[in-house]
Amino acid sequence: MTQSVKPEMLPGLMRLMWPLFKLATRADGGKSAAKAARTSVYLASSAEVAGVNGEYFSPAGKVVDWPQPVLDQATRQRLWETLERLAAMQ
């Protein structure tokens, strides 16, 4: 969905980060939008997970353990501070 986006279209800092974002989003092997959305659509519409909150799901729609960095308070705090600094730059 981002193939037609050019760095010139983005605000300031995003232009610098764009190559990294593009690289990270290609890690899915170039899945189609339909394949990429499959888990989200399943979770939004399936009666099997109705009312389930606070769980982390794999791309296959199965409940899995939260990734360790998500559970690490220091990592979450650094991320929050970084996002605050980036938001202040806009």
Confidence (pLDDT) at 75: 92
- Class of residue 43 by CB neighbours under 10 A (exposed 0-12, middle 13-18, buried 19+): middle
C-alpha dist (Å) from residue 24 to 21, 28, 42, 49, 60: 5, 8, 23, 28, 20
**Does pTM surpass 0.85?**
no
Confidence (pLDDT) at 85: 92
Confidence (pLDDT) at 50: 92
Q: In this predicted model, what pLDDT tens digit does every residue of 4-48 receive, in sequence order?
A: 677 788 788 888 887 777 777 665 555 677 777 888 999 999 999
Confidence (pLDDT) at 81: 94
Q: Which residues sit opposite 63 in a β-bridge?
A: 57
Confidence (pLDDT) at 10: 79
